[in-house]
Amino acid sequence: MTILIPVRMFFQGSDDSYRYFQGVLNPILIIFLPFAVIDRSLRKDTILFMGFSGFFIFMVYFLTAKQVRYILPVIPFLSILAVVGIKNVADMLRPTDYPFRSQSGGVRNVLTSISRLSLFAIVVIFLTFNLSYLKNRFDRIQPLKYVLRKETRDAFLRRHLASYPAIDYINQTLSADDRIYLFFLGRRGYYLDRPYRNEHSFGMATVNRMVSAAKSKEEFEKFIQSLNCTHILMRTDMFVKYLVDNFSKEEIVRFLSLIKESWKLLYESNGYALYSLCL
């Protein structure tokens, strides 16, 4: 369910997947939140931290893409709350010293000790997720090649960024006066050495307006000119998927026919294409 996305981020996150929030979080960050308010001496601070974290996640949910990276500012607060919650649970499970040891009191202390050990095991298991994640990321990225200067910067980026060959082509080929409009690159243009433009919706709003303007050639060309750019860089699979999911076959055919007339393919690699606008 869409309304559960803020919670699902902590359980279903996956790197390199827009469907699963482009990141991974540890569920321990929210599992112990209810226990953070037990300690009355810290209740004011914990409620403040909870309120800020909830408000921030709420704003991200409605104002930007639902991705883990946009809620990173609240992770330190959630980490503190998780530690407080774990401590409070551990304090609740602390064995009680009875002045007269009865059989029931001894059994209770044994059960309490087992509960504390279970709590410790649960925390260790969740923290093991972090170690496993770090190991997998390290094995995947293999940063030592670059750190030890056995690999160049360009080679490292080409190995990890599918869009980098197209970006490098732009940096090496286009002039300083050229301006690039980005579509479906996640607003990540920081490796471009040329002026570029993107938008909050990753280009979807502009695609909507382009398809709408494609009702006539003159209107379409006028809209393309209004973008004030000379080239377009896009992730082609997401561009095509967005068209198929949101427009009729007739609209798509008309739109693509106008693209063929006014856009020239300059470079294509790894599913990314660079077009020159010939208007």
The tokens 């690159």 sit on which residue?
A: 185
- Provide the phi-psi class of 21: left if phi over 0, else alpha when psi is between -120 and 50, else beta: left
Q: In this structure, are 193 and 110 located in the same domain?
A: no
Q: Decide if 156 is inside a domain.
A: no
- Whole-number pLDDT of residue 97: 52
Q: Mean pLDDT over residues 59-82, rounded?
A: 84
CATH code of the domain containing 268: 3.40.50.12610
Pick 46 or 65 by higher pLDDT.
46
Q: Decide if 8 is inside a domain.
A: yes
- Whole-number pLDDT of residue 100: 47
Instruction: State which residues form the domain around 140.
Output: 2-144
Q: Mean pLDDT over residues 11-15, rounded?
A: 76
Q: In this structure, are 6 and 138 located in the same domain?
A: yes
- Whole-number pLDDT of residue 187: 72
Confidence of residue 188 (pLDDT cuts 50, 70, 90): confident
Q: Decide if 248 is inside a domain.
A: yes
> What span, in angstroms and rounded, lies between the C-alpha atoms of 68 and 57?
10
Under 8 Å between Cβ of 80 and 28? no
Q: Decide if 152 is inside a domain.
A: no
Name the domain boundary from 111, 144, 177.
144
Q: Decide if 151 is inside a domain.
A: no
- Whole-number pLDDT of residue 164: 92
Residue 61, C-beta contacts closer than 8 angstroms, at least 6 positions apart:
5, 6
Confidence of residue 2 (pLDDT cuts 50, 70, 90): low
> What span, in angstroms and rounded, lies between the C-alpha atoms of 224 and 213?
9
Convert the pLDDT of each residue in 143-183 to its tens digit. Answer: 888 888 888 988 898 888 889 999 999 999 999 999 999 99
Q: In this structure, are 116 and 198 located in the same domain?
A: no
- Could you please report the per-residue DSSP string of 59-102? HHHHHS---GGGGGGGHHHHHHHHHHHHHHHHHHTPPPPPSS--
> What span, in angstroms and rounded, lies between the C-alpha atoms of 57 and 64?
10
> What span, in angstroms and rounded, lies between the C-alpha atoms of 59 and 53?
10
Evaluated on CA atoms 187, 21, 25, 34, the torsion sign reads positive
> What span, in angstroms and rounded, lies between the C-alpha atoms of 226 and 224?
5
Name the domain boundary from 118, 144, 170.
144
Residue among 217, 165, 230 nearest 191 (CA): 165
Q: Decide if 149 is inside a domain.
A: no
Number of structural domains (the chain) is: 2
Convert the pLDDT of each residue in 14-64 to its tens digit. Answer: 777 767 777 788 888 888 888 888 888 888 888 999 898 888 888 888 877
Instruction: Write 91-100 long-range contacts (CB < 8 A, 24+).
Output: 91/39, 92/38, 93/119
